[in-house]
């Protein structure tokens, strides 16, 4: 089993996924995500990148994180 697969049900990743699913238009910078989930920047960055690597999140041209399905349906946002 890969490291990524082992952490799919991690409570923090589940929480972040749920936030993006409950608010489909959510579009966050790393700093905003850290503040929203009360995390240090390193932890936020790792979690968001894990979700990006698994295809759940995408990044906009300006570096914001959004739900990957929103990017596919709505195209790239600036």
SS3 per-residue string spanning the chain: CCHHHHCCCCHHHHHHHHHHHHCCCCEECHHHHHHHCCCCHHHHHHHHHHHHHCCCEEECCCCCEEEHHHHHHHCCCC
What pLDDT is stored for residue 19 in this prediction? 95
What pLDDT is stored for residue 29 in this prediction? 97
Can you give the pLDDT of all 78 residues of the chain as single tens digits? 344 445 567 899 999 999 999 998 999 999 999 999 999 999 999 999 999 999 999 999 999 999 988 765 555 444
What pLDDT is stored for residue 77 in this prediction? 45
**Structural domain boundaries of the chain?**
3-74
So what CATH class is 3-74? Answer: mainly alpha
Phi/psi at 3 (5° precision): -60, -40
Could you report how far apart the first and last alpha carbons of the chain are, in Å? 37
């Amino acid at each position: 089993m890969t490291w990524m697969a082992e952490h799919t049900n991690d409570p923090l990743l589940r929480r972040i996924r749920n936030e993006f699913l409950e608010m489909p238009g959510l579009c966050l910078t790393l700093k905003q995500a850290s503040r929203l989930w009360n995390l240090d920047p390193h932890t936020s960055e790792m979690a968001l990148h894990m979700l990006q690597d698994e295809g759940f999140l995408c990044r906009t041209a300006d570096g914001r994180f959004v739900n990957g399905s929103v990017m596919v349906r709505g195209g790239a946002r600036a």
